[in-house]
Structure 1
């Protein structure tokens, strides 16, 4: 991508946290506070209105443990699980057991991606786009189109968990690249001139991704491959790339309810919880 300035964005005062494997109720956190748990409950016939309540014990333990461990003065939540029917009422019951206030994003699904657009504003782009890639789908926002989610088809993109063998021919990575590139092309009527791309995995300074259920860990060319597949040789601009939980902290930073809080635990509740710490200097 000769004409694109691709940067690994490091946000001020933000530290990524590994929370998905926190031991809770004898399991790892993603198993008891994630989309797989909710889908299993749905399949078992649990009514929609009762799904959020069944997450309450795990959420209480996780938030209490993490808030104390990281000595925070507030917790901020975003992600698909926050949209469950009755989640707000359930969270109100959890709050008294916590050592600090807890807030849910006003727009839990798209708040991080909207923050991505704000991060692009200093470049004065004509057509910025933000993609928040999750392990169940991709949230897309721009100034010219309605926000949209592209759902992951697990028949085409099966989930690869830790310890599972990956295809030796790399077809799973090619499929993931095609999925993200297609979402960008379909969502954006014209090529963007600025892109914020959040990925659901650790990223080093050279944009080499760590593990997630797409199975692309160690694929050094991942971001370049996505841009090439989506844009070909069209256009030019700036691409800011970061972890999805890090992007969520930027949404939390602009939440007026957190203005007086100096140390905030930000959790994304989706397929599996992601986390980052926001410290205001």
Structure 2
């Protein structure tokens, strides 16, 4: 088998770049009530140095209950200005109707969500648990985890909040820092409880995009250190495009149309079906 010439490699890279750019810059149409955002870190060469950059990925569910990759961005940090620029770019492409944004704890993204979308912010429950258990000590982690889980097991937002405060008060005499941490995070960790019960398992954490992040890590680990940010965009963008195509051909919706439609700001989508 003959080798591939440099010109062929160059043309192939240009074709990939064009497809990825078209995908990442495409218009976002319709309402997107749920948005998950997560970041992973990759190493890249910049001005003769090797630095770590944040690669932000946004995945949403639209008014039809379909899941799509909505965008990505690369930045040197996760500062508020970076989050704001990323979310603003999604808004310029047409993102609207956002009711809940799920991410790890970060004041920058929390502030940006409030400014740009007037949406509720959900602190990832999995990341919260890791932070909470760090206050418990090795010997108390299992008990503390079981205590907090009783709040998550409640059926309504009201009973979940009541149980949350009860657990915090029980822990206060022995683990005061953990109790204070629970006081400070209650509203953000339990935000998903105000949404439909059938959606909650997918709303309380960034788990819906963890598999995607895992695939990105697996394939970027082969590269190790990227020569520039364009190379990151080319590979990660191609992975995102591939995943989006896979979701598009799946027959089953990520969430049922009937359960998501009431959250749409489009009256044609949210209008109840008329009986024949």
Give the structure-1-normalised TM-score: 0.28
Determine which structure has the larger strand proportion and give its number.
1
Structure with the greater alpha carbon radius of gyration:
2
Q: Per chain length, whose mean CA-contact separation is higher, i.e. which structure has more relative contact order (CA < 8 Å, sep 6+)?
A: 1
Give the structure-2-normalised TM-score: 0.29
